[in-house]
Structures are given as C-alpha cells and as structure tokens.
Amino acid sequence: MLKAQYQTRGPVPQDVIDAVELQLPEPAAGQVRVRVLAAPINPSDVLTLTGEYGMLPPLPAIGGNEGVGRVEALGEGVQSPKVGQMVLLPPGCGSWASALNLAADKLIPLPEADPQQLAMLTVNPPTAALLLSEFVTLAPGDWVIQNAANSGVGGYLVQLARLRGFKTVSVVRRESAVEAVRNEGGDVVLVDGPDLAQRVREATGGAAIRLGIDAVGGPATDRLAACLAEGGVVVNYGMMSGEPCQVSPSAIVFRDVSLRGFWLAKWFRSATPAQQMALFGELTGLIASGKLHARIAATYDLTQIREAVAAAAGGERDGKILVVPS
C-alpha cells in the first residue's frame, strides 16, 4: 500500500510530494478501513502543496481532501457502514492513499454509481450550488455570468443553472475551451477580452445580469463587473491569474456593484448538519443519476503522483485529474 506524502511545501508542487509505503494497523474501535477508489486533485490541493492556500495541514501530510472508497474491514463495535459499502471520505482526510482507517460515524454511504464521478462530490459541486444560491435570489429565466467556465466548478455551475432554469454566460480564456462548455449546456460561451461587456449585451439582448462569478481575479474581475446590472454582485472564489481582484470605482460608485468572496470551508463551519445533508443529498442524487457530471482529463496511479500533480497544476486541460489507486 502507498500514500502520497509531502514533508515540505514549495513553488513547484510536484517536487514536494512522493509515493511512500503505507502501513496501516487494524482499525481501532469505532473505525473502519476504507480502500480508496478515486480521489481528485483540485486547485486547492495544488495551493496546499505550494503553501498558498488559506488552511494548511501540519507537516508531514498526505495529499488529497476528498474522494470515495469502499469499506473493507470493521473495528470493534461498528455496525454501520457494512463491509462492501461505498462511502464518501470526510473532507481533509488525506485521500491520496491506497487505504485509510477512518471513524465510522464520519462516513456517508453512497449509492452504487460511478466512483470517479462521486469522488468529486465534496468540493466542486457544493461550491457551484452555493454560488448560485447564497448571494443573489434568482428566478427561472434569470442570467448568470461566470469566468473560468471550463473549470470543474464552472462545469457544475452550467449544469446546475440549467437544472434550476437559469441562463448562463460562460467566459473562457481560450477558444479551444468553448466547445466543451457548450456541450455541457452553456447558453452563451465567450472568450474573455476587453470588449466582453459589449459582446455579452449583444448575446443576451441586453439582459439585466445580477450575479457574476469570478475564479480568475485581476482585470478579469472588472470585466465581469462591467457586465452586471446596477446593484449586481460579483462573487470571487479563486485567483487563477495569481493577481488580486480589480473592480473599477465607476462600477462600485455609479452602478452599486459589490464584490464578495466565497470559501466552502467557511460555509461548512457555519452550516447546520441539516443544511449540509440537504445539499449533499441533492447533489448525490444528481450525480448518481447522471444528471450532473464532470469531465475527466486523466487518471493516475499513486506511483505516478508527481506526474498527476504536474498535470493538475498545468494549463490546457479539458477536465479533472484523478488519483485512482491500483
């Protein structure tokens, strides 16, 4: 058995992590052993390796913050989940490993469905769902604009918006990304540029867009703000450009556009168990039924963890990178 462990952090994320031998004891009382089936590499994982994320585990650490597995052994006193049950791994558990011993009461049973799709349930789908619901009250027929629309969150957001009856303007940074977003159901898909606001008005017939979702930062944030109606809200959840968000005074002062931020970890801390179960119940059902999915660019074994991290950190990908232990 293996685990993907890092002892330090550094500017080149794949250079700090290695697959090393994993020796697990028998599960203790109240624990179960879970064989990991699949675990994604998210942008937050890459930033954790470089030391740039907002919450960093103590070192040494095992990479990976989400995934799915199958229960293969029970500790003393455990009645549920049963051996053979597929389960959602708890956030932050160090999921890039062959197997884990985990508290039984922290595991969520999952239906039998594609484990690679269910492995991405914890981070990107709830982020997309909450970005659509927590900042602006939208009604069917309303428009939403987002950049980084070909990202994992962007793809889920397009699909969820369509399911809820919203229309989307999806902005990407390269022409080669347009087709994939259209195939996921994007109503209008545009390549970012200085004349974005004009092209958005033409494409939507001058619709009043009240919600803009930004994962890029820098001048791209201001280009989204320029597309919004008076009183609109830009919500930032990422910094793909590596630059701070920029919004012009004219947008803030004359059109009352506001800039907010969203971090899923903070939502988890404040949401009630009932709210969390309602959200994950909805998303699990949609993923298991095939109504919600993510593109997968490639899968890697734990022995290829450096190549996997390099692929996830690089650009020009069409889908998520997954760690699938052999």
Q: Any idea which residues carry the catalytic annotation?
A: 53
Q: Report the DSSP pairing between strands 296-300 and 320-323.
A: parallel
CA 271, 166, 234: angle at the middle one, nearest 5? 60
Three-state secondary structure string covering 156-186: HHHHHHHHCCCEEEEEECCHHHHHHHHHCCC
Q: Are 107 and 89 in contact (CB under 8 A)?
A: yes
Could you give the CA distance from residue 73 to residue 20 in angstroms, rounded to a whole number? Answer: 23
Q: If we measure between CA atoms, which residue out of 40, 118, 95 comes closest to residue 283?
A: 118
**What 8-state DSSP symbol labels residue 241?**
T
Edge-to-edge strands, sheet with 61-62: 17-21, 2-6, 61-62
**Using only C-alpha atoms, what is the Rg of the chain?**
20
C-alpha to C-alpha distance for 294 and 179, rounded to whole angstroms: 15
C-alpha dist (Å) from residue 196 to 36, 70, 188, 203, 233: 43, 47, 12, 10, 17
CA distance 96 to 163: 32
The span from the CA of 201 to the CA of 207, in Å, is 7
Dist. CA 185–CA 163, nearest whole Å: 10
